[in-house]
Structure 1
Amino acid sequence: MFQFSIYLRHCSSRENADVHIKRVKGFLPEKGEIGILTITDKQFGMMELYQARKIKERPNVPQQLELF
């Protein structure tokens, strides 16, 4: 596995992305790693995301009481 967390930022141009990359480089931690992946809008649009199917359990519905 490559990452524990993923942060995403849209940049309108490569020049704008370079500004943010420079900022991140200025805050590199002493320990740990940071990876930056730059992709185009078209590549982002072709991304496929999958989630495992999870069976949702029905919540325990408490018994209704009537008060007179």
Structure 2
Amino acid sequence: MIVEQETWVSGYRLMWVIVMFDLPVVEKKDRKAATRFRDYLLDEGFAMGQFSIYYRLLSGKEAVESLRKRIERNLPKYGTVQILAITDKQYENIQTFRSRKSESSKNPEQLLLF
């Protein structure tokens, strides 16, 4: 008899990675570099929270460190990029305001990883 094991991931293990950046966009080459970086983040599975703030959910600290190294290899030549990693438990307390109305943040559906 095969018993299926219920799989769940702790909110303290799941990590949100938030990438915030301020890149120059005055010159055409700088705008292209900024666009390349944004496209890179989207290709890495990030979602855009604001024009210069992207976020992604990862399975743990090891995945965060691996992603951080990949981002570092793809940084634009100029500007500032900050990477913040917080647990899913910390992220659940985020408050979002749109048009003066508060919204609770809804986490995306959890995926079952094998």
Q: Please identify the structure whose Cα radius of gyration is greater.
A: 1
TM-score by length of 1: 0.68
Alignment of 1:29-48 (within 5 A): 29-48=76-95
Per the alignment, residue 66 of structure 1 pairs with none
* TM-superposition CA deviations, 1:1-44 (whole Å, max 9, x none): x7551111111100001000000001111111111010000011
In the alignment of these two chains, the number of paired residues is 52
* Structure 1 outlier segments of 4+, above 4 Å: none
Per the alignment, residue 9 of structure 1 pairs with 56
In 2, Cα distance between equivalents of 1:47 and 1:12: 19
1:24 to 71, 75, 80: 71
Identity %: 40
In 2, Cα distance between equivalents of 1:46 and 1:12: 19
State the Cα RMSD in Å. 1.7
1:50 to 97, 100, 103: 97
In 2, Cα distance between equivalents of 1:24 and 1:42: 24
Structure 1: gaps of 5 or more residues? 54-68
